[in-house]
Amino acid sequence: MKDSIDRRRDIVRGQIMEAISDPENIAALTPLLAEFQGLMRAHGLALARKWMKSKKPMIASAGWCTYSAILATWDDEDLDLDEVAALLDQVVQEVHSAPNRVRYAMNNFVISVGTYITPLLKKAKQAAKKIGPVSVDMGDTACKVPLAVDYIAKVESMKRVGKKRKTAKC
């Protein structure tokens, strides 16, 4: 079993490195990272932190998406809740001036905190209220950006706040 996990980790790591090397392929990172973070918990978090700081929107977006996937799948005890709270504050300050794709990922981060991290539910709701609607150009699609405050309220009304996912899938 361990050998097959190690092999899969190496394959996914190679695919991630290939995507990083070509900016045209960078969009392929998000689904790979969801699997990768399950295989390499500590490295997934380190990569998320690094990528969130990138000036390249595709990379920064992948970082926020990866961190959101971690929030959805890791036990709260394994998370640095002070760091997550600080990231919420950062989103409140930066979301409306962030690049298009990063705005969408930051909005989803707020939703993830409010949905999966019970100790930070109140702070996530406050952040969602401060942020309000997030405008993202979704191109010629019917896709819409979820309103974080409404999404969190819906999950709360279903009494599902804090219910973790077994895996992260994109």
- What are the structure tokens assigned to 139, written together? 């191109």
- What are the structure tokens assigned to 114, written together? 């409010």
Assess if residue 79 is contained within a domain.
yes
Provide the whole-model pTM.
0.78
Please give the pLDDT value at position 82. 98
Alpha-carbon torsion (17, 23, 28, 34), positive or negative: positive
Assess if residue 9 is contained within a domain.
yes
| Total domains present in the chain | 1
Assess if residue 164 is contained within a domain.
no
Whether the predicted pLDDT of 16 surpasses 80: no
Q: Which domain holds residue 109?
A: 2-157
For 59-77, how does the pLDDT look when each residue is reduced to its tens digit (9 = 90+)?
A: 999 899 989 999 999 999 9
Other C-beta atoms lying within 10 Å of the C-beta of residue 32? 20
Please give the pLDDT value at position 27. 58
- What are the structure tokens assigned to 94, written together? 């930066």
For 146-163, how does the pLDDT look when each residue is reduced to its tens digit (9 = 90+)?
A: 999 999 999 999 999 999
Please give the pLDDT value at position 150. 97
Percent of the chain at pLDDT > 70 equals 76
Assess if residue 31 is contained within a domain.
yes
Whether the predicted pLDDT of 14 surpasses 80: no
Assess if residue 104 is contained within a domain.
yes
